[in-house]
Amino acid sequence: MKRLRPHRDILLLLLFALAVRLALALVTNNERGDPDCRAYMSGVWAYHPKTLVLWIWLPYYFYVTGALTHVFGNPALAGKVLSLVAGTLTIIPLYSLSMRFFGKTAAVVSGLIFAVFGMHVKMSCLTMTEAPFAFLCLSAIALFYSGAQAEKPRARRLFVSALLLGLAGLLRHEAWALAVILTVFLLWQPSLRRYAVLYGLFAAAPFILMGAIDYATRGAFTYRVTELAEGKEAESPAVRFPVSVALRKWLNIFVTSPGPIVMLLAAIGLWYAAIARKASAQIALIAVILMGPIFVLSLIIEGWLPQARHLTFFELLMLPYAGLGFHVLFSRRKAIGWAAAAVVVLTCASQAVVYSYKGMAFGLPIDQRGRREIQVAEFLKPRLTPRERLLVEDYSREAAGIMLGCEAYKYTSEGADNWKRMLRLSKEMKPTLLVVHAMDPKRIVGGAEIERIYSNERYRVYRVNY
């Protein structure tokens, strides 16, 4: 017990963060859209493994979650467990960074805010890359400063930091930008300059290996840096909105989670760090460099309008400054504990109010899979066998949830959201089970005989006989 006393604060914060995330994970299912899509794709890889193409969604998350599927039984649970563990452990590097730059009070308060930070809590309960990505990147930053700011630079910590960034880069593209930023920081300081080249090489090592595997299996390097930008441009609607729409979207994200109180504290902390000219301002600089291009593009290109989850890592980097802001305001007051408790309670309340206003059940941050999707999945599950071929009309991004719920990833299954793709898939796979929302099933399957075997308010399920 004596050995644990110096770590009591971080252990209590860790348990608090775990309790909040575990509670939400237990009362919610996976979210429709991207989370269900990632879980479904992980399940497909688990039961039909092959080398995946390097795409906007990098394949290594599917490899990891697919492997864990055989441990936990289904890909949605596997992804949720991965996110829950990584999301909870993120408090350790966050606390370490806050303690290093701002002291114990700021570290504890930033940890308390982190525990109830709605968007990160959400990402810790879904089959998504954000939680493990944030854990790897924050750990890399914490190790970077631990090694760089030591009386004698600690090369081992620097290079482990670089490798963690390389691993994060197998999950999300932003890690490569962060690796460049930290390499430039090393070049900027004469005493650390000799480590810069090796740091960059260590960070790039997983990417180089990824490219080598891609080339060996496909005879070409399929990854293109411009693919993400092209995808975003393709998403841009024909009607352009004024810049004010993008600005309101940014404001809405920050007001929703972590909320106005935390952002006010962060602004105070940032101002204090700036006027004090402390090295801690580098963390804010990293955040600005990472988010600056997205902010500018969101004002120019409609498809680049920000999504709340894309800013999770940026907001995490603001939490130490929120802790500093709290320290500046309340460190000399006797009721500092009550003040910290009030910040936590008010942050929870503000987030719950906004999420409720946005239509989320019980003010929780997760938009759960719908009842009608679940009904279709429950109907299909006992009827699916290796001989069946399932084709689902992707209405409102719900196809992946249906195929995930009935475990169609074990068999032959596809989903599509437009006529052209539905017709092509029908010709290729000749589905024996067809799920549609609004499309004409006879047109989809051509001359085959169809029989309606189930329907609810949104979907119709047909047996197809050729």
Condensed to tens digits (0 to 9), the pLDDT of residues 324-366 reads: 999 999 987 778 999 999 999 999 999 999 999 988 888 889 8
Question: What are the Cα distances from residue 102, in Å, to 55, 88, 147, 390, 412?
Answer: 40, 22, 18, 56, 54
Residues 140 and 178: beta-carbon distance below 8 Å: yes
Q: Answer yes or no: is pLDDT of 3 > 60.
A: no
Per-domain residue ranges of the chain: 5-363, 371-465
CB-facing half-sphere around the CA of 266: CA atoms within 13 A: 21
Stretch among 147-156, 213-222, 354-363 having the lowest mean pLDDT: 213-222
Q: What pLDDT sits at residue 5?
A: 59
Angle at which helices 174-188 and 196-218 cross, to 10°: 150
- Model confidence at 228, in pLDDT bands (50, 70, 90)? low
Q: What pLDDT sits at residue 43?
A: 97
Q: Which helix or strand (DSSP H or E) is residue 17 part of?
A: helix 8-27
Q: What pLDDT sits at residue 211?
A: 80
Q: Answer yes or no: is pLDDT of 241 > 70.
A: no
Tens-digit pLDDT profile for residues 97-109:
999 999 999 999 9
Q: What average pLDDT score do residues 283-293 get?
A: 90
Q: Which helix or strand (DSSP H or E) is residue 356 part of?
A: helix 336-357
Percent of the chain surpassing pLDDT 70: 93
Q: What pLDDT sits at residue 1?
A: 47
Q: What pLDDT sits at residue 229?
A: 61
Q: What pLDDT sits at residue 31?
A: 87
Q: What percent of the residues of the chain are helix, what percent strand, and what percent coil, each to the nearest 5?
A: 70, 5, 25
Q: What pLDDT sits at residue 136?
A: 98
- What pTM was estimated for this model as a whole? 0.93
Q: What average pLDDT score do residues 116-130 get?
A: 96
Q: What are phi and psi of 464, to 5 degrees?
A: -110, 130
In one-letter notation, the amino acid at residue 227 is: E
In one-letter notation, the amino acid at residue 248 is: R
The whole-angstrom separation of Cα 29 and Cα 27 is 7
- Model confidence at 150, in pLDDT bands (50, 70, 90)? confident
- Model confidence at 220, in pLDDT bands (50, 70, 90)? low
Q: Answer yes or no: is pLDDT of 223 > 60.
A: yes
Question: What are the Cα distances from residue 142, in Å, to 31, 93, 158, 164?
Answer: 31, 6, 10, 11
Q: Answer yes or no: is pLDDT of 238 > 60.
A: no
Q: Answer yes or no: is pLDDT of 135 > 90.
A: yes
Percent of the chain surpassing pLDDT 90: 69
CATH number of 371-465: 3.40.190
Q: What pLDDT sits at residue 49?
A: 94
How confident is the prediction for the chain on average, in pLDDT?
A: 90
Q: What average pLDDT score do residues 27-38 get?
A: 90
Q: What average pLDDT score do residues 286-292 get?
A: 91
More confident residue, 402 or 274: 402
Tens-digit pLDDT profile for residues 379-408:
999 999 999 999 999 988 899 999 999 999
Q: What pLDDT sits at residue 231?
A: 62
Q: Strand order of the sheet with strand 412-416?
A: 412-416, 389-393, 433-436, 460-465, 449-455
Q: What pLDDT sits at residue 234?
A: 61
More confident residue, 9 or 332: 9
Q: What average pLDDT score do residues 247-258 get?
A: 90
Rounded to the nearest 5 degrees, what angle is found at the Cα of 282, between the Cα atoms of 284 and 8?
Answer: 80
Q: What average pLDDT score do residues 251-268 get?
A: 94
Q: What pLDDT sits at residue 107?
A: 96
Tens-digit pLDDT profile for residues 45-72:
999 998 887 778 888 999 999 999 999 9
